[in-house]
Amino acid sequence: MTPEQAIEHSAARLRASGIAPEIAIVLGTGWGPVAARVQDAVDIPYGELPAFPALGVGGHAGQVRLGRLGGRPVAVLAGRKHAYETGEPDGMKGAIRTLAALGVQVLLQTNAAGSMDPAMAPGQIMLLRDHINVVQRSPLFHETGDHRFVDMSAAYDPALGAQALAVAQRLGVPLFEGVYAWVMGPQFETPAEIRWLRGMGAQAVGMSTVPETILARHARMRVLALSLMTNMAAGMADETLSHAHTMATAQAASERAVGLLEAVVAGLEL
């Protein structure tokens, strides 16, 4: 099966649910409870979608849940393929292109991140205004034609970001804004690397999101992204970093994050 055939087959399988999602939500660590709020849910495992990846990270269920969230038709992706699993950044290429073929207009990304801003403590949420591709790798390697030269000057849609900020203000939920630095991982960063990233102008650091944003923009989808701070970055607090620590902190802070996300979905004007 060619990649194009895999995308066509996957889109047809999702379309058979009878739900035509306007918004797709990629659930990162700590954001899993969003799936439980989807009404009239139909679950399709990634294993039934040939364009979707096999996952290998704890906390990622590996299924698409179709239904309604905040009164809107959505596709919720429980899990993503990370570049640190294979060294390649294109693990979500088939999934994102399937969503585009399905007619999705907005990709709403979520992730867990380390805070590099002393004012942004674990448990706080940051709206991505921009990113730094520290890895300098692209999921568009091996593409051909001029369409591969994607304009990233407004990678995270300013109008959608403004709407998310307005929703957060209405709810009284603090919502920081900042730049997200994508690092390969899977190891956490050193204190020296964090000092370097802060000097580059980033407020949060993590191991995901940027490849999917590039793919979504290539597919002409609008992107909105939220980061849940699960720890202070290396050298900024007296704590030992681990994936278990990240998941525990994310779980403790997820209720407010999930409530904000649902309200943002309900309030988006596309």
Rg (CA), the chain: 17
Contacts of 191 (CB under 8 A, 6+ apart): 234, 235, 236
Kindly report the CATH number assigned to the domain that includes residue 69: 3.40.50.1580
Contact 25, 108 (CB under 8 A): yes
**Mind listing the pLDDT tens digit for each residue in 77-121?**
998 999 999 999 999 999 999 999 999 999 999 999 999 999 999
Cα 219 from Cα 134, distance rounded (Å): 22
Q: Please, which residues have CB within 8 angstroms of residue 104's CB and are 6 or more apart in sequence?
A: 21, 22, 23, 24, 75, 221
Query: Model pTM?
Result: 0.93
Instruction: State the virtual CA torsion across 124, 217, 219, 145 in degrees, nearest 10.
Output: -150
Contact in structure between 265 and 69 (CB atoms under 8 Å): yes
Residue 15: per-residue pLDDT: 97
Chain segment 1-48, per-residue pLDDT in tens? 999 999 999 999 999 999 999 999 999 988 989 999 999 999 999 999
Query: The tokens of 3 are what?
Result: 């990649």
DSSP string of 32-88, one letter each residue: GGGGGG-EEEEEEEGGG-TTSPP--STT---EEEEEEETTEEEEEEE----GGGTS-
- Name the residue among 254, 265, 251, 16 with its Cα closest to residue 160: 265
Number of domains composing the chain: 1
- Centroid of chain to Cα 204: 14
Q: The domain containing residue 20 runs over which residues? A: 3-267
What is the average pLDDT across 121-145? 95
- The mean pLDDT of the chain is 93
